[in-house]
Amino acid sequence: MKKLMSIARLIFINLAIFLILLFVVNFLVGVYLKNSNTKSRADLPNYQDNREYARKIFQDYNKVNHLYEPFVGWKTKPYNGETTNIDEKGIRKTIAASQKSDSAKIVRFFGGSTLWGEGADDHNTIPSLFQKLNSDFKVYNHGQLAYNSRQNLDALISLYEEGKKSDIVIFYDGVNDAAFLCPSDVEVPGHRLVPMFRGKLYTSYFSMIKEAIGKIFFDKLILLSKKINPAERDEMYNCLSSPEKAEAIADFMLTNWEIAHDIVTSRGGKFYAILQPAAYVGNPRVDHLDLGPVLGENFRQVYKLFYQKIKEKQYPWVYDLSASFNGNEHIFIDFCHVSPNGNQIIAKEINAVLE
């Protein structure tokens, strides 16, 4: 009996040491991964004229939180910062040129984080810059982080159900449909957080314990494995290896645009759909960025189909602005988000579309 107790104690001590070492290694790998990505986007050449203010922009961005929202999945919580302000409805502030009359035309922008304005302050989002060009309009920024075209459609429907007026509706899409529907664990129709929602809803205690153990001992090691193993990275996306999925994504976005167009125009409004730029398409300057090649290959496959279907449909209300950033100017701050100079270009081009 004494010998069994001694063996059990030895096993327990060794197991405890192993778990402690595993926890420490996992923690240190997490620190390494965080430090390897700590180069702030504020340090990019895009912001060389005012890096301190750019840091404030990203500090505010990192403080923005989300809550559940019916149908669309999530929306931003209210927030008041030096560069970023979000009201109680989750709508980012659009800087108005002056107080608008009740008869002013209502213009509503829908899109993901690029439209919302990641990388810019309230004054330099696309809707705010468009508002400055059109002082007789009242402009709203309904952009939300990671929204794709279907979520924009659902958000639009919810607004009409609330009795909100819309004279002009603009969808700014493409990036989130291509990038966040291409992961292998996301189906069409879907959105970026489908795997997370499925993993957390109606889970058993066993699943919760398993997730907690994973976070404590394994999750950073798995991330490191994916970072250094090209084969694992390749398996993250399947639009290139599955042409039918890429086709489904392209049809998904065009159909969402068609439905939005029908809803808006049947209520007396005008609808415009904009295919947005991305660092993976066209000829923008990207030598200052570290872009993932695997995502790029899958992304281009979907955008190629976007171009094809837009050309086939010949809708007069669809505009391809994906080449708007071609040239030698530093505009992109990652594969899709841009500094204020990029938003200014898009605001002017959308203004020209409406004119």
Which pLDDT tens digit goes with each residue over 77-110?
A: 999 999 999 999 999 999 986 666 678 999 999 9
The pTM for the full model equals 0.87
Task: Measure Cα distances from 311 to 179, 258, 318, 343 in Å.
Answer: 21, 15, 10, 25
Residues 6 or more apart whose Cβ sits within 8 Å of residue 1 = none
pLDDT for the residue numbered 187? 94
Average pLDDT over residues 61-71: 96
The residues facing 76 across adjacent strands are 66
Least confident of 17-26, 98-107, 263-272: 17-26
- Examine the pLDDT at 313 and tell me if it is beyond 80: yes
Q: How many residues does the chain have?
A: 355
Mapping DSSP onto H, E and C, the string for 226-265 reads HHHCHHHHHCCECCCCCHHHHHHHHHHHHHHHHHHHHHHH
- The secondary structure of residue 314, as a DSSP letter, is -
pLDDT for the residue numbered 232? 42
pLDDT-derived band at 29 (thresholds 50, 70, 90) equals: low
Least confident of 177-191, 233-247, 295-309, 335-349: 233-247
The residues facing 169 across adjacent strands are 108, 271
The residues facing 107 across adjacent strands are 139, 168
CATH architecture of the region 41-184+237-354: 3-Layer(aba) Sandwich (3.40)
User: What distance in Å separates the CA atoms of residue 128 and residue 355, rounded to the nearest whole number?
Assistant: 18
122 within 8 A of 340, measured Cβ to Cβ? no
pLDDT for the residue numbered 224? 56
Q: Decide: helix, strand or coil at residue 109.
A: strand
- Examine the pLDDT at 231 and tell me if it is beyond 70: no
With CA atoms as reference, report the closest residue to 339 among 270, 277, 261: 277
- Examine the pLDDT at 283 and tell me if it is beyond 70: yes
Average pLDDT over residues 163-180: 97
pLDDT for the residue numbered 40? 86
- Examine the pLDDT at 151 and tell me if it is beyond 90: yes
Average pLDDT over residues 205-229: 59
**Max mean pLDDT range (26-40, 149-163, 203-217):** 149-163
